[in-house]
Amino acid sequence: MPQAEVSQRRERRADLPFAAVDQYQVGGRPLSAGNPVVTPRHRLADGRMRTDAVRALVTGASGGLGAALVAELKANGAAVIAAGRDAAKLSALGADATVAADLTTAEGVEAVAKAARAFGCNALVNNAGIGAFGLFDDTDWSAIAQLLETNLAAPMRLTHALLPHLKSLPEAAVVNVGSTFGSVPFAGFAAYSAAKAGLRGFSQALRRELADTRVAVIHLAPRAIDTPLNGEDVRALNRALGNAADSPEAVARTAVEALARGSAERHFGFPERLFAWINGAAPALVDRGVAGKLSLIKRHAPARVS
pLDDT tens for the chain, 306 residues long, are: 333 332 323 233 333 323 322 222 222 233 333 434 444 432 344 556 778 999 999 999 998 999 999 999 999 999 999 999 999 999 999 999 999 999 999 999 999 999 999 999 999 999 999 999 999 999 999 999 999 999 999 999 999 999 999 999 999 999 999 999 999 999 999 999 999 999 999 999 999 999 999 999 999 999 989 887 788 888 899 899 988 889 999 999 999 999 999 889 999 988 899 999 999 999 999 999 999 999 999 999 999 898
**Inter-CA distances, 5 with 2, 32, 85, Å:** 5, 6, 25
The helix, strand and coil proportions of the chain, stated in percent and rounded to the nearest 5, come to 45, 15, 40
pLDDT of residue 56: 97
pLDDT of residue 36: 40
pLDDT of residue 181: 95
pLDDT of residue 10: 29
pLDDT of residue 18: 30
Q: Convert 142-154 to b/e letters by CB count within 10 Å (16 or more is b).
A: ebbeebbbbbbbb
In whole angstroms, what is the distance from residue 257 CA to residue 58 CA? 15
- 51-300 has which CATH code? 3.40.50.720
Q: Convert 231-263 to b/e letters by CB count within 10 Å (16 or more is b).
A: eeebeebbeeeeeebbebebbbbbbbbbbbbeb
pLDDT of residue 291: 96
pLDDT of residue 227: 82
pTM here is 0.84
> Which residues participate in catalysis according to the annotation?
192
CA Rg value for the chain:
20
